[in-house]
Chains A and B, each alone.
Chain A
């Protein structure tokens, strides 16, 4: 059985800024559990000598030359913005500062 608890899901929902009802939390707890259990099956096949992977292709060092390419105009940059002022994106005031 997976170790995903309802508290884990509540924590994740909070971090992801998703509000969830009690019923949704219940459902997601069991569904996430099934997903994690499925993924865990991989560990049965991979022994300790297999390093963890983060990319499906066996590539390293894919680099770009330091040469300037295309850019947007301010109007293009802002074309999807819900609101803009003085060529800048306008967003609600947010108190938390990182």
Chain B
């Protein structure tokens, strides 16, 4: 461990940026959502009993032969194209050898000097709308490792008595995306870090090649940071903060590493090239293991697999399947829906673009779609401890529900109840309204009776209204609602009251 008590205090972010230019680099690992693993037909699934999604290939048993998952190769090519990369005409897999129990073979099957995709870029949008271009060095195919749990008193590696290994994740298809060094980021470095990871996540989600859930490790980021004195052109020594697995954490990790590096350099020290571990609670990093560019993994071409070659026809067929790039789609929708910047940002952050788009396409207004998804549906999701998108509300249901309001058959309050009954499995909105008899009471008889009762019970309010204080009618609406179990049409109540008092509305 290289951590010492004498490590200098981090500089303030502002001071660090006055003296140094940060250089960033990212390695993002994306787990593919194929049905099976990269090199075997064992299922690629999350959350199952340990060591039940494995076969002889995942366990690295002697004499087994890997076979490449064709769909994973197509996913890699699609991602390469979406990252504006060139696609290799010929490439091979390679063995990356290291000893650690997360890989039972003692090597990870990866790609080395022949990645499937290389030389691309991603344009990422910053908070102020400005576009920053991040250049991509390469994207290569590899396999994930098993999951280790360190047992013992601390639950961490240090002080663990033994480790337990679950190989369910072993062999899950991964694509590792490596950026070129990112210079010129300046004070926007943390923001660029977040925007880049966010853009990559959006792209793999739009391509539907990954579940893209960061909290499950579907998208994982290693953040490299180094500093060079202002105006210099030679890069400083870098640190690599491993597995920063949320957008916020990536932003904070870059912010902290810039400050930490600057503190050490200002004190006349030098940066240790090492891996760092992100500590969410303190928003700092701690020392991992020293790392050198000369780490010797003894890469060599995987003799059990044959090369992958691509043709222009194949690549163009895959290019034709690419969806609209997420950034372009957002610009188009923001314009079409006429939301404010803040409203649109909230929708994106809530992950409800797809739902709102479908709701609008099914016939609701953009405003109504936003009102439902960002309002009541989000509230119900929160109450049921899930994501709005995972609640199981279909856009068509919202269109139907909203239609009932527009037709004056139910009011907003009843509509919210209907939605709740719908989630409890009582059927479609119209069906629920009919079964439960929730239709707004606006016809003469019942409503007039309820209004008369409310007026009789609240003579003081009636007096005020009669004296011209029309706002006081509000105090009558409550009792009427109570009488009609919330099904009264408030506009109608007002009309009846005014009519009874002989006042022009």
Contacts and interface: CB of A to CB of B under 8 A. Distances in A.
A98 B102 contact: yes
A92 B151 CA distance: 10
Given A69-B42, A71-B43, A57 B50 contact: no
B164 A85 contact: yes
Contacts of A40: none
Contacts of A69: 36, 40-42, 55
A86 interface: yes
Contact of B101 (A78, A87, A91): A91
A50 interface: no
Nearest to B309: A60
B41 A68 contact: yes
18 contacts: A54-B302, A63-B67, A63-B68, A65-B71, A66-B70, A66-B72, A69-B41, A72-B59, A77-B51, A77-B54, A80-B61, A88-B50, A88-B164, A90-B164, A93-B161, A93-B163, A96-B289, A97-B288
Contacts of A59: 306
A69 B165 CA distance: 22
Contacts of B92: 54
A62 interface: yes
A39 interface: no
B51 to A, nearest CB: 4
A89 B165 contact: yes
B446 interface: no
A40 B401 CA distance: 77
A61 B158 CA distance: 44
B266 interface: no
Contact of A66 (B69, B161, B301): B69
A17 B162 CA distance: 20
Contacts of A62: 67-68, 305-306
Q: Which 3 A-B pairs have the closest CB atoms?
A: A69-B41, A63-B70, A54-B301
Interface residues of B, number: 60
Interface of A: 11, 15, 17, 54-55, 57, 59-74, 77-78, 80, 85-98
B423 interface: no
A53 to B, nearest CB: 9
Nearest to A51: B90
Most chain B beta-carbon neighbours within 10 Å: one of A11, A68, A98: A98
A68 B160 contact: no
Contacts of B296: 11, 15
A17 B99 contact: yes
Contacts of A57: 306
A8 to B, nearest CB: 12
Nearest to A59: B306
Nearest to A96: B289
Contacts of A94: 100-101, 157, 163
A35 to B, nearest CB: 15
A67 B54 contact: no
A44 B288 CA distance: 47
Contacts of A77: 51-52, 54, 59, 167
Contacts of B55: 69-72
Given A15-B97, A68-B36, 4 more contacts: A60-B308, A63-B70, A89-B164, A91-B165
A72 B157 contact: no
A89 B306 CA distance: 32
Nearest to B145: A98
Contacts of A68: 35-36, 41-43
B219 to A, nearest CB: 19
A68 B379 CA distance: 39
A59 B56 CA distance: 24
Given A71-B54, A93-B150, A55 B303 contact: yes
Contacts of A17: 99
A57 B52 CA distance: 34
Nearest to A85: B164
A97 B289 CA distance: 7
B308 A61 contact: yes
